[in-house]
A = this chain, B = another copy of it.
């Protein structure tokens, strides 16, 4: 029976022992999104084409947050990340006036445990940063669902949503 592994016999949080696990290449892909209004869409789109690229700031925030994951998530293992990338796309439905930035992060390590948390944290940091860069124009933006899309490496088997 599976159980919450992050608790010790006193019922308090611990960082699970992974000393016995194999150091292998592990990859995780996560996604998030942020729904903006048309005015913000226009201003980001212009900035991306010319200068003032909101996504450039969000990208860097994501990369730095991925490296910083073990200090943000209390029971997360520190891992020597070997690669981080983040991609942005627009999903636009002009009929419903829907403007949504799709965020996808991919994180790699060669380490003792997976990098799901690093990928999720990167995607969240990107979304939060876009919010911060655009909040002077409107605070009603909504950060969309954030989830793990894929995970490979490690003996527990791969995962794909």
Q: Which residues of A contact B (CB under 8 A)?
A: 2-8, 10-19, 25, 32, 39, 43-44, 47, 50-57, 59-61, 63-68, 70-88, 108-112, 116-117, 120-121, 124-125, 127-129, 131-148, 151, 159, 161
Contacts and interface: CB of A to CB of B under 8 A. Distances in A.
Contact of A86 (B12, B120, B131, B151): B12
The 5 closest A-B pairs by CB, nearest first: A11-B51, A17-B83, A7-B52, A143-B146, A15-B84
Q: How many copies does the complex hold?
A: 6
A15 B132 CA distance: 11
A108 B112 CA distance: 13
A6 B63 CA distance: 12
15 contacts: A4-B43, A4-B54, A4-B137, A7-B51, A11-B50, A12-B51, A12-B52, A15-B66, A18-B83, A57-B60, A60-B74, A74-B129, A75-B133, A82-B112, A140-B148
A4 B111 CA distance: 27
A53 B52 CA distance: 10
